[in-house]
Amino acid sequence: MDRDLLKDRKTMPLSMYQASVPVLLRGLGVLSTLLEKGAAHAAASGIDPAELVQARLAPDMLTLAGQVQRASDTSKFAAARLSGLPAPSFPDEEASVDDLLQRVAATVEFLQSVPAEAFEGSEGRSITYGPQSRPTTLPGADYLLGFALPNFYFHVTTAYDILRHLGAPIGKRDYLGPLGTKG
């Protein structure tokens, strides 16, 4: 796009809430759709559903269940850390696609309960995350844009890749989800 056109555009600030919760909700909606299509493919192809949940791309990578759990954890902890509210605890015990879908739904429910006002000032708030032995502290904006969102999409993408590798009829449109809608 021509730089002169950009220069004349009026911009509106984007809040930390807008840059996080709706984005995460949209991604979790996509993840649910991918899981549903993966389960339908498994049923139609005679693939054991347990094989689907335990599938992985490489021996040192997490299973499909692990990818969904990490996408859930990343989104709920991002909202909790940025808002200052406690995150719910979900044990990593999902053994079926239905269990994974329930976890995603519980994560969505939590995100929807976090008020936008709780994010005010979070762009500069110190956010500490990671292992207790080597914690990382970043300003909220750096945490969200440099860690939380990339990490979330890594796990959603890897879940997509596992399902696609198993032959699920999903493609880029499924990964992108409905365009032009709010999360």
pLDDT averaged over every residue in the chain: 92
Q: Of 18-22, 126-130, 144-148, 176-180, which range is least confident?
A: 176-180
Give pLDDT, residue 12.
63
Query: What percent of the chain shows pLDDT beyond 70?
Result: 91
Describe the crossing of helices 97-113 and 64-83 by its angle, rounded to 10 degrees.
10
How far apart CA 152 and CA 173 sit, in angstroms, is 19
Q: What is the maximum alpha-carbon separation in the chain?
A: 57
Give pLDDT, residue 13.
82
Residue where the block lists tokens 């309960």 = 113
How far apart CA 138 and CA 118 sit, in angstroms, is 18
pTM of the model: 0.90
| Residue, of 181 and 22, whose pLDDT is higher | 22
